[in-house]
């Protein structure tokens, strides 16, 4: 059906949390694919085994896996039911798998009958996940609204937007918000993720379910998910705003004006290293 990539240009400011949150509120239940070259974090965060996961899925894709049943057989459910294909156990294993089969995995994900939300962690010119990213229907670059982070994120958006729908996801909107970024840097902002540390902890299973359901983070991710869904191929019109979160949310555990960016985006950027193989 579709492949949506969530990445970061500087560090990983909540890429995994954002991907899981988007999956929890997506209009039709997707599958989260953890393909961070630095290895898996979801199993430790949610107390899940490392297998089945990316290793077994990659092996199946090599041998012609196809269809919804194939991907779900390599996924594990989060507490709220969201299916997740957890990543490789170590950076060495993840890098090897993605370097050898990332492109094929991306082609398979883009053609899957289910929407795949891929957490690729931090992007770089040498990332072994680039082959998968190039096959995405949407590439989102998660970034803080600080000048140095926005400029780097915007550079990456320009590398992909000729081949796919690419844009920034801002974590908060101060000091720079969507309108000034679009005007001064000429790149799309696909949404603003609420800067909500309490909600992020609840989404990671470290807070109460009550906190999670009221979190500004969840509300912002629902708005973003609805917007992204309308840009996918053959998507239906976005549903009206829902006041209640979807049931797929992972269950928690108790425990003034904008300054100018000062840079016009009309300058040409090199795409060296990001061309399709």
Q: Give tens-digit pLDDT for 99-147.
A: 999 999 999 998 888 999 999 999 999 999 999 999 999 999 999 999 9
Residue percentage of the chain with pLDDT more than 90: 64
- The Cα 6–Cα 273 span in angstroms is 19
Domains of the chain (ranges; CATH) run 2-231 (3.40.50.300)
User: Please, what is the end-to-end C-alpha distance for the chain in angstroms?
Assistant: 22
* This prediction's pTM: 0.84
- The Cα 134–Cα 167 span in angstroms is 14
CA 210 to chain centre: 25
- Tell me whether residue 100 is exposed, middle or buried, using C-beta atoms within 10 angstroms of its C-beta: 0 to 12, 13 to 18, 19 or more: middle
3-state secondary structure of 28: coil
Residue percentage of the chain with pLDDT more than 70: 81
pLDDT in tens, 52-107: 999 999 998 887 765 555 789 999 999 889 999 999 999 999 999 999 999 999 99
Assign 175 a pLDDT band (cuts: 50, 70, 90). very high
- Tell me whether residue 152 is exposed, middle or buried, using C-beta atoms within 10 angstroms of its C-beta: 0 to 12, 13 to 18, 19 or more: middle
Tally: H helices and E strands in the chain: 11, 8
pLDDT computed for residue 64 by the predictor = 73
CA 186 to chain centre: 22
Q: Are strands 83-85 and 76-77 parallel, antiparallel or unpaired?
A: antiparallel
Q: Tokens 């057989």 identify what position? A: 73
What sections of 161-262 are H helices per DSSP?
Answer: 178-185, 197-203, 209-214, 216-231
């Amino acid at each position: 059906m579709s492949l949506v990539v969530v990445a970061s240009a500087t560090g990983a400011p909540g890429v995994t949390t954002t991907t899981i949150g988007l999956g929890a509120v997506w209009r039709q239940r997707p599958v989260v694919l953890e393909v961070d070259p630095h290895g898996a974090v979801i199993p430790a965060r949610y107390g899940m085994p490392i297998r089945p996961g990316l290793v077994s899925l990659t092996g199946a894709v090599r041998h012609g896996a196809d269809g919804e049943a194939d991907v779900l057989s390599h996924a594990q459910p989060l507490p709220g039911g969201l299916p997740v294909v957890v990543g490789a156990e170590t950076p060495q294993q993840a890098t090897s798998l993605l370097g050898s089969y990332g492109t094929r995995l991306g082609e398979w994900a883009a053609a899957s009958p289910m929407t795949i939300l891929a957490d690729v962690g931090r992007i770089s010119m040498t990332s072994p996940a680039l082959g998968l990213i190039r096959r995405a229907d949407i590439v989102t670059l998660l970034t803080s609204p600080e000048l140095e982070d926005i400029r780097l994120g915007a550079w990456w958006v320009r590398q992909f937007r000729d081949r796919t729908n690419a844009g920034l996801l801002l974590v908060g909107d101060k000091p720079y918000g969507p309108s000034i970024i679009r005007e001064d840097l000429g790149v799309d902002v696909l949404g603003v993720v609420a800067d909500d540390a309490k909600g992020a902890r609840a989404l990671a299973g470290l807070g109460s379910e009550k906190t999670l359901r009221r979190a500004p983070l969840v509300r912002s991710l629902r708005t973003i998910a609805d917007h992204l869904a309308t840009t996918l191929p053959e998507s239906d019109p976005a549903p009206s705003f829902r006041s209640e979160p979807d049931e797929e949310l992972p269950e928690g555990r108790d425990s003034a004006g904008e300054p100018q960016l000062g840079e016009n985006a009309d300058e040409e950027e090199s795409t060296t290293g990001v061309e399709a193989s």
